[in-house]
Amino acid sequence: MSWRKLLKERRVKPHETSRQELDDLRALVERDLADASLPGLSPDRRFATAYNAVLQTAKMVIACEGYRVAGLGHHQMTFEVIELAMGPHVADLADYFDTCRRKRNLVDYDMANVASETEAQELLEEARKFRDMAEDWIAHHYPRFARTGDV
């Protein structure tokens, strides 16, 4: 898979990001990580909210590369292309997030009591790690977009 092939297939579109866009996405990520940590929230809601933090983090990475995922299946495609952007060292993480995507679909569209407390907590922890990994990647590859201060 290459960006060129994905462009030709209209799976991604060219996109020029900005510091403002990334800071807005960072604010979403931080909100979702905080909300997914709230005691008393159902495991399903915590799971879905942590998932959204992951999705928005991945969107930041893809935007830095100059693209936006488009069309049907854009969540799945997002997790496929983070490996293209960040490298093969994130392949296992991308696979894990794609598995979470399928569970999140059940949680949001089909049934209740799908995610366990353990699954919700694990995804929250992985979301935090991925956020930190993505911020390090952005600082290294796109320093003009690196996080500065509180978002």
What does the pLDDT look like over 127-143, one tens digit per residue? 999 999 999 999 999 99
In a domain, 92, yes or no: yes
* pLDDT given at position 72: 79
Q: Binning pLDDT at 50, 70 and 90, where does residue 14 land? A: very high
The model's pTM is 0.92
In-domain check, residue 99: yes
In the predicted model, what is the mean pLDDT of the chain?
A: 91
Residue 83, pLDDT score: 92
Q: Assign residue 53 the CATH number of its domain.
A: 1.20.120
pLDDT of residue 111 exceeding 80, the answer is no
Contact 127/57 with Cβ under 8 angstroms? yes
The pLDDT value recorded for residue 113 is 81
Residue 143 falls inside a structural domain: no
Alpha-carbon distances, residue 91 vs 82, 132, 148 (angstroms): 8, 16, 28
Kindly tell me if the per-residue pLDDT of 151 is higher than 80.
Answer: no
State the burial class of residue 96 (Cβ atoms within 10 Å of its Cβ: 0-12, 13-18, 19+): middle
Asked if the structure places residue 147 within a domain, the reply is no
- Express each pLDDT in 48-103 by its tens digit: 999 999 999 999 999 999 999 988 788 888 989 999 999 999 999 999 998 898 88
Q: Which domain holds residue 64?
A: 3-135
What integer pLDDT is reported at residue 69 of this predicted model? 94
Helix (H) or strand (E) holding 69: strand 67-69
